[in-house]
Each structure stands twice: as structure tokens, then as C-alpha cells.
Amino acid sequence: MTTGEQRWVLGLTAAGSVMVALDVLVVAAALTTIRQDLGASIEQLEWTVNAYSLSFAVLMLTAAALGDRWGRRRTFAAGLVLFTVASIGCALATTVPWLIAARTLQGVGAAVVMPLAMSLLSAAFPPERRGWAIGIFSGLTGLAVLGGPMIGGAVTEGLAWQWIFWINVPVGLLAVPLVLRRIPESRGAARRLDPLGAVLATLAVLGLVWGVVRGEASGWTSVEVIGSLLAGALVLLAFLAWESRTDQPMVPLALFRNHAFSAGNAAGFFLSAALLGAVFFLNQYLQVQLGSGPLEAGLQLLPWTVTLFLVAPVAGRLVDRYGERPFVVAGLLLQGLGMLWIALIARPDIQYAELVLPLVVAGCGVSMAMPAAQSAGVASLPRASVGTASGVYAMLRQLGGVAGVAVAAAAFAGAGGYTAFSAGITRAMVVCGVLSLAGALAGLGISARRTVEVRG
């Protein structure tokens, strides 16, 4: 593949990833307006966010398998079409159930776009340049996630909440024909689909995530929560048993014999858990404690977000030279330090200037760790396994975000919630710091990069 073709692949896959990542948190800034406009309850607002995240998470593995079978470029383009159509549905919604349904469909499109973007990118670049490409891709994707509240606030204040969805439409309409024309087709190893594995994985994830999300509202000892968690765990065991016995598993468990792959996925899970939990609460903290508007709060997070744009590409190049382990461990330690620092100083009379340095520290940390963890989770395997590996990594990262927000929210509510905001944000940021440190510990399991032959 020529350098020009590689640039098209990088640009178009990054565009799809940015569009999908932006919608993870762009809705957060518009929830109050949506509640007033559509008369939504608190639980309905939660599902406006969770419907997207859950469908995004549970369908990634199936989408990656379909891409390997039908062609990654073709499947990626179909995901962009579905995401664009669903965005139109969100923008036209006049009732909350309609909006939740459209957000669910949007999550399905996102589940197709994200893992196939990584697969196409990894297939287009040789190992010696893959870290650099992933660094740029990860930096732009992370910037979109962290920039979601700022962009959502600006659009909601300047136009209307519906426009946070309308802005996806021209991007999708432009990207789809370019993808079909400029990106070469690629496929993974020819394997039969595993519909039973897909169903079991979906039910397991739904059960576990439902239990975590509903824990604080229904009570952690309630029949609903305990039953959901127990059912999810049992179905997960059934999924693992099936995957170990079937000839053509959706997730070859032999992948996890690769220490770099397993450790990279664990580190990516905890990285996303800490990152999204912190973003969710820091944006609210700036608005409630400092009195900032949605747009101003987003701008105040720039010391954090800009580091992703500046540091991630450099870290990606250095990963190619020195390996993933030092950047995963050091990066997550820095992210944890920054979040624990914020927890220490989060008092009612805090001044914004006091937050700048810990935000920079946390941002530099995630910028170092993100491309390195992603590289360890994908580049350590043979090219034929890239599609499946990308799906597993993307799913676990998304699930990490859902779990991080849920656990941080439980800690926040346990400290008094909005009636004692400073105490709540302190506990939430401590949780995010601990999650970061857990990711650093997982990163210690990453060994020197090596290519292995994996048999499913």
C-alpha cells in the first residue's frame, strides 16, 4: 500500500472514530434542555446515555466478525450509513422513547464503525509504523471523547440540542463515498459466524452492566440487582464454556494466552473506566461548583484535552522504539496521580487555577497510555487476528467506560450526591484514581512485543 493510500485510510478511519467517540459524551451537556423540552424523567435521561453505550459495547465483537467475513471496508461503510440515519432519527425525536430507540440504533452503528476502523488501520500499516498511526488515531479519538461536553455545550447554547445530532449528517454523507473509493478492501481469516456465542456474549454483558447501572437506584442488595449480576455472571460462564468447545469461536480464547494482549486489554479497560468516569463528573463539577456554563466548562477542560492532541502522536512513535509496557504503566500512574490530586483539592471554595496542573498531569498520562495499551492489545498478534483483537479491545474499552461512570456515580451518591457536591466529587475522583492505578498494575503484565501464532 502506498503512503498516499495509508493517509486516506488514517484520515477516514479517524473521521469515523471521531464521529462515534464524540457521541459518547456530547449528549451530557444537553440533558437539562432535553428534560425540559421532552419532559423526561431522570431515569429516561440515564437511558438516553446508556442506550448508546450498551448497544455500542455488546455488538462490537459481532461487528468485527462480520467485517472479517464480508469485507472490512464494506462493513465500515455500512456502519457509517446506519450511524448517520440514526443521528437523523435522534434529531427528529419528539418523545423520549423515540430518542432512546434512535440512540440505541446509533450505538449499533457505532459498534460497527469503531472496531472496523481499527482493523482497517492496523491492516494498512506495517508493524514498524503502526504505533505512529495508532497514536494519531487514538489522540483524535480521545480528543473527541473529552471534547464532547464542550462541543455539546456550544451547540446547545448556540443552536438547539437537536443539532448535536444533525452535525453528524454531513460528515457521514461525505465519508461514505470516500471510504468506498479510497480505502482498499481487506478481510480476516475466513470463519463461520458464531450466533450462539454472540447471543451469550450480549446477554452476559447486558446482565452485568444492567446490575452495575441499576445498583444505586434499586439498591445493591435488591432482587433486581443481585439477580441481574448473577444471571450475567452465569451466562458469561456459559459463553466461556461454549467458546472453548466450538470449532469456530467468536472470541478464540487462545488469544488470551498472549500476555501482551491480555494485559493490554485489562489496562485499556481500566484506562477508559477512569477516563470516562472523570469526564462525566468534572464537567458537572465545573458547572455546579465554579458556576461555569456548559461551553465555559468545556473550555476549562482544555488543559486536559490538548495534551491528548500533542502527546499521543509522540507517544505512538516512541512505542514503536521502546515497546508498550513503560508507556502504559507510567501513563496510568500519571493519570491516577492527577485524579487523586483533584480529589485532594476539591473543596467548595476552590479556584479554577488550582485545577490546571493536575488536569495537565492526568492528560499527559492518558495520552501516553492510550496508544500504548491499544498497540499492546492489537499489534502483538498476527495480522489475520487483527479484526477479532480490535473487536475485543474496543468492546472492553467501551465496557470500561460504562463501568467507570457507574462505579464513580455510586461513590458520588454515597457521599451525598448533589446535596454535598464537594464530598461527592472527592469520592468519585478517588475511585477514578484507583481505577487508573489498577490499570498501571495490569500494564506490568505487558512483555516485549512479539508475534505469535494463535489457533482458534
pLDDT tens figures, 229-286:
999 999 999 998 998 888 777 777 777 777 778 888 888 899 988 988 888 788 778 8
Q: What is the pLDDT of residue 276?
A: 81
pLDDT of 59: 82
Angstrom distances, CA of residue 311 to CA of 95, 235, 325, 433: 42, 41, 17, 20
Which pLDDT band holds residue 434 (cuts at 50, 70, 90)? very high
Q: Is the pLDDT of residue 310 over 80?
A: no
- Report how far residue 427's alpha carbon sits from residue 408's, in angstroms, rounded to the nearest whole number: 8
Spatial distance between the Cα atoms of 201 and 453, rounded to a whole number of angstroms:
25
- Per residue in 139-190, pLDDT (tens digit) is 777 677 667 777 887 887 778 888 989 989 998 999 999 998 888 787 766 5
pLDDT average, residue stretch 74-86: 93
